[in-house]
Amino acid sequence: MNIALGLSELCSIVGIDGVHADDRTFTGIAPLDHAGPDDIAFFFRPEFAAAARNTRAGLVITSTALAEHLPAAVLRLCHPDPEEAMARLLEYLAMSAKPQGGAIHHTASIAPSSTIAKSARIGAGTVIGEHVHIGDEVEIGAHVVIEDGVAIGERTVIESGAVIRTGTVIGKRCRIGSGAIIGSEGFGFIERNGRYRHLYHLGNVIIGDDVEVGANTCVDRGLLGATVIEDGVKIDNLVHIAHNVVIGEHTAIAAQAGIAGSTHVGKRNRIGGQAGLTGHISTCDDVTIGAQSGVSKSITQPGEYSGTPAVPLQRRLRSEAALRQLVELVPIIESLAHKFAPKPTDQLRDEQE
């Protein structure tokens, strides 16, 4: 990314006090091992110490504890939380690159009954249905479909190719990734005489403030009532949230996880990639579920869980350690079994004679 930042301006953006006499201009941001003399880099984890010792970056933002790993010639800014400094700078640059002011592309199709804030931006080929409300500074990419009765809060971003189905409510400052489908019909059928009868889903999806939904993720609408994603939830790409699920606030869900219908996930949960939760169960607050775990029963105690079926992490680790010890005993057991095995009748007769 091409930038042009002086040192004094950079200090102001990331929250470092004081103006440095050296006010060089930096024109890029790069990882430690790829940065050049005009680039800014960040160093906030000890495991990157080898890259830090060999970096050619013009400036590194780091902590006081880690600064000693940097070459003497490298200019460094010490920040109490260098990862937070990185987040501030990236946000500043991303916001600076955005076009300002509202605009509606001439190829967008918008129903006359919908309300679009003057500061909103609507991309090419987007279709907006009846009685839609779009708030201030909302950004909607190209070829988005927003069906009837949708409400989108201020400063939310809907990326290109997303589909927002009928009656969905999306809060403020959210981000819906490309190809995501919010409010798709859930997997609901009843079986009669060996055949499946479709259940029409008449509910909707309600998404709180500051929620992010990744690309190609599907959130199904409720059968009756709503599927609810509470404030601050972060959902990765390729996740499936089934009908009538509730995701508690500030929960994070990694890629390819799946949550079956009517499950209630507590607040501040962390769900690893490819984990699966069966339907009609719940997890309490502050639960971490490891990658590829299978949760088939409700979790009522905070903590880390792993495996299929998911159990407390320490219990799983003890079980695995015991299994390894058992495997090591197999040759000994086989040797003893051979030594004390009953002898054939003819062999016993020969020994007696």
Instruction: Report in angstroms the alpha-carbon separations of 55 from 3, 4, 33, 51, 62.
Output: 20, 21, 6, 6, 13
Amino acid letter for position 134: I
Residues paired with residue 303 on neighbouring β-strands, in sequence order: 287
Look at residue 7 and give its three-state secondary structure: helix
Look at residue 128 and give its three-state secondary structure: strand
Our CA dihedral for 320, 322, 326, 327, rounded to 10 degrees, sits at 30
- The H or E element that residue 323 is part of is helix 313-339
Would strands 189-192 and 195-198 be described as parallel, antiparallel, or unpaired?
Answer: antiparallel
Amino acid letter for position 74: V
User: Of residues 106, 243, 280, 338, which has the active-site annotation?
Assistant: 243
Between CA 298 and CA 277 the distance in angstroms is: 9
Residue 105 annotated in active site: no
Would you say 45 and 27 are in contact if contact means Cβ atoms under 8 Å apart? Answer: no
Between CA 40 and CA 61 the distance in angstroms is: 8
Active site residues: 243
